[in-house]
Amino acid sequence: MIKKAAFYTLGCKVNQYETEAVIDIFLDSGYQIVDFSEEADVYIVNSCTVTNEAARKTRQIARRAKRRSPGSLVAIVGCYTQAFPDEVSEIEEIDLVMGSNNKAKILDKTEEMLAGRDVDTKVKEYKQLRDYEDLNLKRLSNTTRANVKIEDGCNQFCSYCIIPYARGPVRSRKKEDIVAEVKKLTKQGVKEIILTGTHLGAYGSEKGNSQALTELMQILTEIDELQRVRLSSIEGTEIDSGMMDLISKEDIFCPHLHLPLQSGSDKILKAMKRPYSVKEFKETVAELRKRIPNLAITTDVIVGFPGETETTFKETLDLVKEIGFAKVHVFPYSAREGTPAAEMEQLNGNLVTEYSKELRVVNEALMLDYQKKFLGEKKEVLIEEVRDHQTNLLTGYTDNYLKVLVDGPDKLKNELVEVKLAETFDSYHILGKIID
Ligand code: SF4
């Protein structure tokens, strides 16, 4: 009888990439992949630990799976188990616990367990994670855009972040493996590649090569069929002059950078252990804008970090407006157990909510301002495979990260089409007209 496996992914693009690669391994071995809400023989939860809430959700999802199919094998793998293996092992409904490496072995361990054999499930300490584990994407559920993982781990230890304990030190994927995967994906019709990593800009740094990401980007320009490349998120301090040149001169690189700011106050940045000051961040943005016209700069901001005051929050609001981000992802700070910031004096939760609301209002206005700059212009839009469920229009992104709604037939899905940006729909969408 064909065995059924179901997967659930929490967290970031790196986790999504890894789940897709593990699904390929299960498919190759004859498993049928079913929705997580259906009955299955094996449930795999690729967990996240970035907040206490993500960990709680992981536990809840795993428990529900066991209740649905009591005879099934439920496995939790990934960041949560890596950072808190003992906590996860205590959950009665979980049969198999694996950390954030060895994901290629999930199938083997599952099979051994189903066959009634003892399985070594000891999670290695994060400092012992030494090699980049190569997983490969073979098929994709969505061919419009594909995440390609190039790096794992982080050595930065920002004071609020649990990731270095969950992913271990920086390990980079071999350039030739990345190029082979990108070629394979473009042959399958993928138009846009998003280079992802736990700490993308640290690519190659464990070998002392600070130019490694720029070198990789240069190599990608030689792949003829590749239409678009986006970087998932990068520290401003890690963008060198060569990278700026490539983004400005080579059409395949989207003029869009996600630079996590986190705070507009030097006092808070220092407490967060971020590697730049407000002045340095502003200088990077100014240089980028000089060299890359129409660059979209998006960001993350953590609101209500320990020590935040009216003054530091106002500094953040002012800086966010001054820079004029195309979009701000607002993260209300919540203490992550196991991090230094969790030991600091915490703000009142209501204040954190209030600050977050205020910044979200500013963000909506910034997004509208950003859209307005491009009204009347012609832009290429990569049409997504799924229609917008509210309007039933086709959706897609421009290279500079405007989300566009257009009327058109299904055959345009996964195509790059020329569109005139006509009017604002709301702060998240712009209405466009396809140019015949
Ligand atoms: S750079 Fe900082 S925020 Fe990003 S993963 Fe590393 S520790 Fe976390």
Q: pLDDT 10s per residue in the chain (436 long)?
A: 899 999 999 988 889 989 999 999 999 999 999 999 999 999 999 999 888 888 888 889 999 999 999 999 999 999 999 888 888 888 888 899 888 878 888 999 999 988 887 777 677 777 777 778 878 777 666 678 899 999 999 999 999 999 999 999 999 999 999 999 999 999 988 999 999 999 999 999 999 999 999 999 999 999 988 999 999 999 999 999 999 999 999 999 999 999 999 999 999 999 999 999 999 999 999 999 999 988 999 999 999 999 999 999 999 999 999 999 999 999 999 999 899 999 999 999 999 999 999 999 999 999 999 999 999 999 999 999 889 989 999 999 999 999 999 999 999 999 999 999 999 999 999 999 999 7
The ligand 1 atom nearest the CA atom of 154:
6
Task: Using the mean position of ligand 1's atoms as its centre, give its distance from the Cα of residue 170 in Å.
Answer: 11
CA 100 / ligand 1 centre spacing (Å) = 16
Final residue belonging to a domain, choices 335, 354, 373:
373
Ligand 1 center to 214 CA (angstroms): 20
Q: Which domain holds residue 281?
A: 255-373
- Whether residues 147 and 250 share a domain: the answer is yes
pLDDT value at residue 86 = 86
Q: Are 119 and 166 in contact (CB under 8 A)?
A: no
Provide the domain count of the chain: 4
Q: Say whether both 157 and 100 belong to one domain.
A: no
Residues 356, 277, single domain; the answer is yes
Task: Specify whether 229 is located in the same domain as 145.
Answer: yes
CATH value at residue 415: 2.40.50
Residue 264 and residue 247 share a domain: no
204 CA distance to ligand 1 middle (Å): 16
136 and 249 housed in the same domain:
yes
Q: Is 268 in the same domain as 365? A: yes
Q: How far is the CA of 199 from the centre of ligand 1 (A)?
A: 7
| Ligand 1 atom nearest to CA at 235 | 1
Check whether residue 181 and residue 137 sit in a common domain.
yes
Last residue of a domain, one of 124, 142, 168: 124
Residues 304 and 416 both lie in one domain: no
Residue 138: give its domain's CATH number: 3.30.750.210
Tell me the CATH number at 268.
Answer: 3.30.750.200
pLDDT attached to residue 252: 96
Rg (CA), the chain: 22
From the CA of 163, how far away is ligand 1's center (Å)?
6
> 160, 161, 263: which to mutate for ligand 1, most atoms within 8 A of CB?
161
CB contact at 8 A, 400 and 256:
yes
What's the CA-to-centroid distance between 16 and ligand 1, angstroms?
A: 18
The confidence score (pLDDT) of residue 59 equals 87
Mutate to test the pocket of ligand 1, among 158, 238, 305 (most ligand atoms within 8 A of CB): 158
- Name the residue with the closest Cα to ligand 1, atom 2: 158
pLDDT of residue 371: 96
Pocket of ligand 1 (CB under 6 A): 154, 156-158, 161, 163-164, 198-199
Q: Are residues 250 and 328 in the same domain?
A: no
- Treating both helix axes as pointing N-terminal to C-terminal, what angle do 212-220 and 241-249 enclose, rounded to 10 degrees? 20
| Residue ID of nearest Cα to ligand 1 atom 8 | 161
Separation CA 128–CA 100 (nearest Å):
12
Q: What's the pLDDT score for residue 138?
A: 74
Both 266 and 357 in one domain: the answer is yes
Q: What separation in angstroms does the CA of 274 have from each of 77, 118, 221, 266, 402?
A: 29, 44, 32, 9, 29
Cα separation, 310 vs 351, whole angstroms: 10
